[in-house]
Amino acid sequence: MKQVPQIRIHGPDRVQLDLVERPVAGLDDVIVQVEQCGICGSDLGYIASGGLGPDTPMLLGHELAGTVLETGDNVSHVRVGDRVTVNPEADGNGIGNYGSEGGFAPWLHVKGASRDEQAVIKLPEGMSFETGALIEPLSVAMHAVHQGQAKPEDRAVIFGAGPIGLGILQVLNYYL
């Protein structure tokens, strides 16, 4: 079987480009050719802490967009050639966090996509892959604002001006 490169953490501040088996879609799965993948602040924390431990290489990359390369027979909501973003937490995948897949690779295996149609989501016509890779951090920002139940008369303090913090600012500005 063909091997492909995959970025993985092997200990504190130890990131390597490893060769792994090329993913193949099972009946419920999708293979996405990764076009853009963002670096999250949590990725930097995982790198500094050593990821999941020295005996368990940890994969990175959960803010991404790409093109559907392969689908399993049970997948009907996306087709080969569709431009998509990926919900890294859908169907318990934990992509780029605690799971067995990560977006810093040429191809991403999205398991169980037929069971959760929010696992792989088509990008709107004309949306760039760069913008598509920002959907996940904007989703986190939107979730934070919704959880906070902010009202127009409230004041907010945002700690940090990274993608999540700036996303929270934009969402608050939009809703309030």
Q: What is the pLDDT of residue 53?
A: 76
pLDDT in tens, 23-80: 999 999 999 999 999 999 899 999 999 998 777 899 999 999 999 999 999 999 999 9
Please report which confidence band the pLDDT of residue 19 belongs to, taking 50, 70 and 90 as the band edges. very high
Q: What is the pLDDT of residue 119?
A: 97
Q: What is the pLDDT of residue 72?
A: 98
Instruction: Measure the CA–CA gap between 94 and 76, rounded to whole angstroms.
Output: 22
Domains, the chain, ordered by start: 3-129 (3.90.180.10), 134-176 (no CATH)
Q: What is the pLDDT of residue 54?
A: 72
Strand order in the sheet with 3-11: 14-21, 3-11, 58-59
Q: What is the pLDDT of residue 52?
A: 82
Q: What is the pLDDT of residue 125?
A: 95
pLDDT in tens, 117-162: 999 999 999 999 999 999 999 999 999 999 999 998 999 999 988 8
